[in-house]
Amino acid sequence: MTDSLDALLAGLVDYAGLFPPTALTMSDAVRAYGMYRSGPRASMLGRFVVPAQRLTEFAEAAAPLLVSGDPWRLSVLAEPADAVRLRAFDAEHAGRAVIETIETKATTVDAVSAAAVLGADRTTFVEFPLDADPAVFLAALAECGLLAKARTGGVVAGAIPSSAQVARFIGACARANVPFKATAGLHHPMRGEYRLTYDENSDYGTMFGFLNVFAAAVFARCGASDAEIAAILDERAAAALQFTDGALLWRHWRASSADVSLARASFATSFGSCSFAEPVDDLMTLGLL
């Protein structure tokens, strides 16, 4: 693997096996995450995603695997009312599991400030509608010290936003210097038509590729316009994204491996996926791993 690809993939996938379309049981999701943590592609693995209401269930299922000094990293879907629950979990599981990030929603700008109670002592991502003006939401997030979250897909075609909407979101985040994460619909490396669920009779939809999204974010930090970001998001040829030792290349754009690392560390943080195996397998099929 080249150093630019390694930089792009490091800790990229937050494992959301509890959520559709996989929707595993807690015990199966915990077992899978434990296996991935010690597997050959562990460097790609991020946090375990769990709803706040299921933290007790998680703790019971994961208890045999939680070892003091090697804590599991969690991203918890929560609402402001869950703040006490989160503190109690932290106190009970210190050293064995750590809630690193919170994910919540705000459908209006006025609702953003309510999420600040969750972000007082930990990183909090706030999902807002992509059909809204991102600049307004991002200004409110920045004022409260919160980060952004974009929903990039779903189990029905209507849940997938347009390239223009995602490009506008990424570009606005870059200009506002607000880091973001993505969720949903990013199982595959490259843009294309894929089944929306694992049902053999599933409908197909045009889905974003995670290489597209995070390469677009890297180049957004390098100054790419929203139109250029959209073009990267729409790129379907894997060979058009070139990962070398030293740089990520797309058309006339070049980002050094250091630029990629910096963008991942401080801007485009991760994406949630109900599958970890599928992104890995697809990268192997493309000959990138």
Question: Can you list the alpha helix ranges (DSSP code H) found in the chain?
Answer: 3-9, 26-37, 55-62, 83-92, 134-144, 163-176, 210-221, 226-233, 257-266, 277-285
What's 8-215+266-284's CATH class? alpha beta
Reduced to 3 DSSP states, what percent helix, strand and coil does the chain have, rounded to the nearest 5? 45, 25, 35
Beta pairing, strands 247-250 & 253-256: antiparallel
Strand partners, 184: none
* Higher pLDDT among residues 119 and 47, named by residue: 47
**What does the pLDDT read at residue 127?**
98
In order of 183, 233, 270, 276, the CA distances from 188 in angstroms are 13, 13, 14, 10
Q: What is the pLDDT of residue 151?
A: 98
CB atoms closer than 10 angstroms to residue 195:
16
**Mean pLDDT over each residue of the chain, to the nearest integer:** 96
Q: Give the per-residue pLDDT at 141.
A: 96
Residue 29 has pLDDT above 90, yes or no: yes
Looking at residue 116, its pLDDT comes to 85
pLDDT tens for each residue of 231-275: 999 999 999 999 999 999 999 999 999 999 999 999 999 999 999
Residue 118's pLDDT band, with cuts at 50, 70 and 90, is confident
Residue 155: what pLDDT?
93
- CA–CA distance, 58 with 53 (Å, rounded to integer): 10
* Contacts (Cβ under 8 Å, ≥6 apart) of 61: 26, 27, 30
**Whether residue 114 has pLDDT greater than 90:** no
Share of the chain above pLDDT 70, in %: 99
Percent of the chain topping pLDDT 90: 95
Give the 3-state DSSP-derived string for 198-223, with helices as H, strands as E and coil as C: CCCCCCEEEECCHHHHHHHHHHHHCC
Burial class (CB within 10 angstroms; exposed 0-12, middle 13-18, buried 19+) of 164: middle
Please give the backbone phi and psi of residue 38, each rounded to the nearest 5 degrees, phi first: -110, 10
Q: What is the pTM of this model?
A: 0.96
54-68 pLDDT per residue, tens: 999 999 999 999 999
Could you give the CA distance from residue 116 to residue 110 in angstroms, rounded to a whole number? Answer: 12
- Residues ≥6 apart with Cβ < 8 Å to 138: 148, 172, 173, 176, 178
C-alpha to C-alpha distance for 227 and 139, rounded to whole angstroms: 22
pLDDT at 122: 87
pLDDT of residue 121: 78
* 132-188 pLDDT, tens digit each: 999 999 999 999 999 999 999 999 999 999 999 999 999 999 999 999 999 999 999
Q: Where are the domains of the chain?
A: 8-215+266-284
pLDDT at 188: 98
